Chains A and B, each alone.
Chain A
Amino acid sequence: MTEKNIIELKGVEKRYGSFLAASGIDLDLRQGEFFSLLGPSGCGKTTVLRMIAGFQEPTQGAILIDGQDMAGVPANNRPTNMVFQSYAIFPHLNVANNVAYGLRGRVPKAEIDARVTEALEMVELGGLHQRGANELSGGQRQRVALARALIMRPKVLLLDEPLSALDKKLREQMQFEMRNLQQSLGITFVMVTHDQYEAMTMSDRIGVMFDGRLEQVDTPATLYARPCNRAVASFIGEMNILPATVLEETGGMLSIEAAGFGRMRIERNVNATDRARDIIVGIRPEQLEIKADKPADYPATLKGKISNVAFYGENIHYHVAVENIDKPIAVSVPNYFHTVDFNRGDAVWLGLQVASVIDLGKERKSSQREKT
């Protein structure tokens, strides 16, 4: 990955009548990175991808690919290629002709044949040249779509929910394969997904979108550790949210009074830019300790009662109801000893290291998409 920007979005907005599908999108994508646009359905991430591909024109702002303004450049003349959610395999063509589709009439036939063979081997479909489009499994269709786009040697490969049609096992396998492919080719991949795990495992950076706005762009680790607000925090992994009051702010630290846990000093989160005296803080379920007796070695403790137990295999989730806190607090415990230690109704203690409390800034009221 270099520091050169391959795609630049400057104040991009897409409006359908009075509906803002995307607004104020400023985003620089670096040459050779694997970037994911993550968000719930309807958040505008596919619209952004389709604007980069050229299927839709922004109503405002500019899109630059490799320094070139793409305004007025139709999709067939852009240096991008796309893997469609439905894969869009041409049903009247066999695998080789599907993959060769974009090269026909541009490159000599001998070169086409060589590149098709190379592309099919790259996606591990070597020898399937003559297979009909309707004789392919879901995973094979996905690979054909990938080969068909990569054979064009695009500057940017766009992927629209590329794995959502596959079953879980195949999806996990393809995640690693696509990541390896991207790293060996050095092509910039831009993927749209609603699956946070997919985005986390594959991406160098993730842009999280809600209601047509890009909320935060960061590496998976930073997004997890320092989300900018409640929406991002809850979308990436699970998060217990507690109200808190800021008592004092000194040198990047906050003294707060958090519901239930009481006073503590936590780090001020630079990503959370909405500030106020009343804030919310987040605690990841795996950062909490659950004990039968009051733990001595934790600075903050809380008494509660198990309201629910969910067994996940690799870990166990307990929901602990605590007095004066509306929602039960979720605690995730690794399943080291293959035993469920607590049952519904058990009285327990929760222990907390202060460093694991994340400042999420001022609570934003559920954002209403701007309508004019």
Chain B
Amino acid sequence: MFKPRSEAARGYALSSPATAYVGFLVAAPLVILITYSFWTQTYVTLDKTPTLGNYRAALSDPLVHHLMLRSIWIAGAVTLATVVLAYPIAYFIAMKARRKTIWLLLITIPFWSSYLLRVFAWKLILGFNGVMNSALLGLGLIDEPLDFLLYNEFAVVLTLAHAWAPFAILPIYVSLQKIDPSLLEAATDLGNSPLQRFLRVTLPLTVPGIIAASLIIFVPTVGDYVTPALVGGSDGKMIANLIQVQFGAANNWPLGATLSLLAMMSVGFVAIVFVIAGRGLGGRIR
């Protein structure tokens, strides 16, 4: 028999799996990372005297600046491209489509295959002897294969925009779905054309969905490693690739930890700015 326990004890018991999960898999690694960032790598041994040397080195290195800015720029471009492409699809499903469930199911179908396979698929499409070039050659539109399709920022943005599409479609779909149809009728009744109505009612009311979609995409993209490694070439390298080098070939874990933390802080900062700006924007549209 259970003894009657206090409300608080039961609450802790219920949340203990989640607490353990977060503790061991998020908090503990983070603490280790922070600790490492204050140490120094001296060839094969670790010097454990606390120091800010790694931060100084990282912040003064132009390569780090360059990769950090490029990561944020690429993540921004991916976010923008994904949201702009996803919005019409979400709008179609929420407002026009009859069989919404089937459409939503179709959108998730790419997820039935591995992300790596999808990246390789893009390599096949965009490559020098790939589908795109073969098709254009076959149609006689070009004389020799285009070499700017793959191994650059464009390829990274394209691949990621495709991969993230459902993550943008779903939150925007939900916020469109929540709009009371009588609000749209009221806007029409008050003299709005369909475009005015979209800009003055539909769009402002979906700002929360757009912000959610943007954060879901932006935050993991800044730290993405696989996509730039596979389709980015040397032009498309991002901060995560540098971090990977520090933990791998360069064998400088403390610098790798420092770079990781700096990347996290940059993302956090940009995300907060974005949320505040988005709120302001949503409130100002009339």
Does B189 have its Cβ within 8 Å of any Cβ on chain A? yes
A280–chain B nearest beta-carbon distance, Å? 41
Question: Complex: how many Å from CA A23 to CA B186?
Answer: 26
Question: Complex: how many Å from CA A75 to CA B187?
Answer: 10
> Are B186's CB and A90's CB within 8 A?
yes
> Are A86's CB and B187's CB within 8 A?
no
Q: Which residues of A contact B201 (CB under 8 A)?
A: 90
Does A106 have its Cβ within 8 Å of any Cβ on chain B? yes
> Are A92's CB and B190's CB within 8 A?
no
Known: A86-B182, A88-B180. A93 touches B188 (CB 8 A): no
> Are B182's CB and A76's CB within 8 A?
no
B180–chain A nearest beta-carbon distance, Å? 7
Q: Which of A142-191 contact B (CB under 8 A)?
A: 148-149, 152
Does B52 have its Cβ within 8 Å of any Cβ on chain A? no
> Are B191's CB and A148's CB within 8 A?
no
Does A261 have its Cβ within 8 Å of any Cβ on chain B? no
Q: Which residues of A contact B204 (CB under 8 A)?
A: 92
Known: A84-B182, A86-B182. A92 touches B282 (CB 8 A): yes
Does B138 have its Cβ within 8 Å of any Cβ on chain A? no
B74–chain A nearest beta-carbon distance, Å? 32
Question: Complex: how many Å from CA A106 to CA B182?
Answer: 23
Question: Complex: how many Å from CA A74 to CA B197?
Answer: 14
Q: Which of A73-108 contact B (CB under 8 A)?
A: 74-77, 80-82, 84-86, 88, 90-93, 97, 101-102, 104, 106
Known: A84-B185, A86-B180, A86-B182. A92 touches B283 (CB 8 A): yes
Known: A97-B286, A102-B191, A106-B191. A91 touches B205 (CB 8 A): yes
Q: Which residues of B contact A86 (CB under 8 A)?
A: 180, 182
Does B6 have its Cβ within 8 Å of any Cβ on chain A? no
- A75 in complex: contacting residue of B180, B188, B282, CB < 8 Å: B188
A80–chain B nearest beta-carbon distance, Å? 8
Known: A86-B180, A88-B180, A90-B201. A76 touches B185 (CB 8 A): no
Question: Complex: how many Å from CA A80 to CA B186?
Answer: 12
> Are A88's CB and B185's CB within 8 A?
yes
Does B59 have its Cβ within 8 Å of any Cβ on chain A? no
Known: A92-B204, A152-B190, A152-B191. A75 touches B185 (CB 8 A): yes
> Are A88's CB and B205's CB within 8 A?
no
Q: Which of A226-285 contact B (CB under 8 A)?
A: none
> Are B286's CB and A53's CB within 8 A?
no
Q: Which residues of A contact B191 (CB under 8 A)?
A: 76-77, 102, 106, 152
Does A55 have its Cβ within 8 Å of any Cβ on chain B? yes
Per the CB 8 Å criterion, the residue count for chain A at the interface is 25
Q: Which of B237-286 contact A (CB under 8 A)?
A: 282-283, 285-286
A162–chain B nearest beta-carbon distance, Å? 13
Interface residues on B, range: 20 to 34
Does B183 have its Cβ within 8 Å of any Cβ on chain A? yes
Does B60 have its Cβ within 8 Å of any Cβ on chain A? no
Does B113 have its Cβ within 8 Å of any Cβ on chain A? no
Question: Complex: how many Å from CA A333 to CA B183?
Answer: 47
Question: Complex: how many Å from CA A184 to CA B283?
Answer: 36
> In chain B, what residue has the closest Cβ to A77?
B191
Does B192 have its Cβ within 8 Å of any Cβ on chain A? yes
> Are B189's CB and A75's CB within 8 A?
yes
A129–chain B nearest beta-carbon distance, Å? 13
> Are A88's CB and B183's CB within 8 A?
yes
Question: Complex: how many Å from CA A153 to CA B227?
Answer: 59
Q: Which residues of A contact B180 (CB under 8 A)?
A: 86, 88
A150–chain B nearest beta-carbon distance, Å? 12
> Are B182's CB and A53's CB within 8 A?
no
> Are A101's CB and B185's CB within 8 A?
no
Question: Complex: how many Å from CA A152 to CA B188?
Answer: 13
Does B49 have its Cβ within 8 Å of any Cβ on chain A? no
Does B42 have its Cβ within 8 Å of any Cβ on chain A? no
> Are A76's CB and B189's CB within 8 A?
yes
> Are A53's CB and B189's CB within 8 A?
yes
Known: A92-B204, A92-B282. A55 touches B190 (CB 8 A): no
B98–chain A nearest beta-carbon distance, Å? 15
> Are A84's CB and B190's CB within 8 A?
no
Q: Which residues of A contact B205 (CB under 8 A)?
A: 91-92
Q: Mark B187-218, 1 if CB is under 8 A from A, else 0.
A: 11111110000001100110000000000000
> In chain A, what residue has the closest Cβ to B185?
A55
Which of A74, A77, A82, A148 is the most central at the interface, judged by chain B CB atoms within 10 Å of its CB? Answer: A82
> Are A104's CB and B188's CB within 8 A?
no
10 interchain pairs, CB-CB under 8 A: A74-B188, A76-B188, A82-B186, A84-B185, A97-B286, A101-B187, A101-B286, A102-B190, A102-B191, A149-B189
- Nearest 9 pairs of A and B residues by beta carbon: A102-B190, A88-B186, A88-B182, A75-B188, A92-B204, A84-B182, A82-B189, A76-B188, A76-B191
14 new A-B pairs (CB below 8 Å) besides A75-B189, A93-B286?
A: A55-B188, A75-B188, A81-B190, A84-B186, A88-B182, A91-B183, A92-B204, A92-B205, A92-B283, A101-B187, A101-B190, A102-B191, A104-B286, A152-B190
Name B's A-contacting residues (CB within 8 A).
180, 182-183, 185-193, 200-201, 204-205, 282-283, 285-286
